[in-house]
Amino acid sequence: MSSAQAVGRSALTSVVGRMNKGVVTSGELVVLGLEASKAAVTDIATRRFSWSEFMLQAWFMTRVSLLPTILVAIPFGVITSVQIGAVAAEIGATSFSGAVNGIGVLRQGAPLVTSLMIAGAVGSAICSDLGARTVREEIDALKVMGISPVQRLVAPRVVAALVVALLLTVIVAMTAMITAFIMNVGGGTISSGAYLASFISFSQPTDLLLAEFKALVFGFIATIVAAHKGLSASGGPKGVADAVNQAVVLSVILLAMANVAITQAYVMLVPQGIA
């Protein structure tokens, strides 16, 4: 066998191995998501849910993500208003800037900013915490004592992430929309009445429901990915660091794919038009 053939076969083997690993990881994520959901619902119904762990994790997630989320939402609102305002002024459609800004923030901006903050700030913390517990064999100790790590550690974090994601989405939407309103109305490009009237005419209650639904899905995905990578970490501190990096990257990719799928389904199923 020539060297070129050997290199080609090695590359093919590497690609096949990565594909197999990706399929296995996808299956493990689905299984973990189902187990965490079942554990959360069952424990809440039977009053065995760890509310103390839930409150601790919810407070931690809020504390580490609230301020960064607001600081990201403000420039997001500025950039959106500047870009949309410039295009609207060129085509003489400044009266529609309120609708475009508001709907864009609700449907896309707010849930995405929230999910990225959860994946980056919250997800990395969850992954590092569970990863450290895994390499210190604390997870194995829980299993030996008959305690499910998914029920004790993952389920409260998933529920906390869902609640925090819902609240952060509202905060991001309000912050970005108020910023865009100040930029447009304060700059004198449009009156406050026209800005609000265009937003009210084109927006729908389902836009807010879409944003909150996205927040739930994105928060769930980011938390499950972080928990999976943390529970599968190995190799000491370096393994935990690698797991955190993989969790953040994989979360961003999955969130982008989920956003496209949900947005396309919404456009296809919900009638669009002037209210």
How many domains would you assign to the chain?
Answer: 1
pLDDT of residue 11: 63
- What burial letters (b/e) apply to 8-22, b meaning 16+ CB within 10 Å? eeeeeeeeeeeeeee
Residue 227 lies in a domain: yes
pLDDT of residue 224: 92
Residue 75 lies in a domain: yes
Residue 76 lies in a domain: yes
Rounded to two decimals, the pTM is: 0.84
- Say if CB 139 and CB 132 are below 8 A apart: no
Among the listed residues 252, 250, 24, 229, the one whose alpha carbon sits nearest the alpha carbon of residue 130: 229
pLDDT of residue 5: 58
Q: DSSP alpha helices (H): ranges in 118-154?
A: 123-135, 138-144, 149
Consecutive H or E run containing 204: none
Rounded-to-10 torsion of CA 43, 45, 46, 47: 80
- Burial label, 206 (beta-carbon count in 10 A; 0-12, 13-18, 19+): middle
Residue 50 lies in a domain: yes
- Full residue range of the structural domain in which residue 118 is found: 20-265
| Residues of the chain where predicted confidence (pLDDT) is lower than 50 | 274-275
- Report the C-alpha gap between 221 and 119 in whole angstroms: 9
- Say if CB 150 and CB 39 are below 8 A apart: yes
- Burial label, 142 (beta-carbon count in 10 A; 0-12, 13-18, 19+): middle
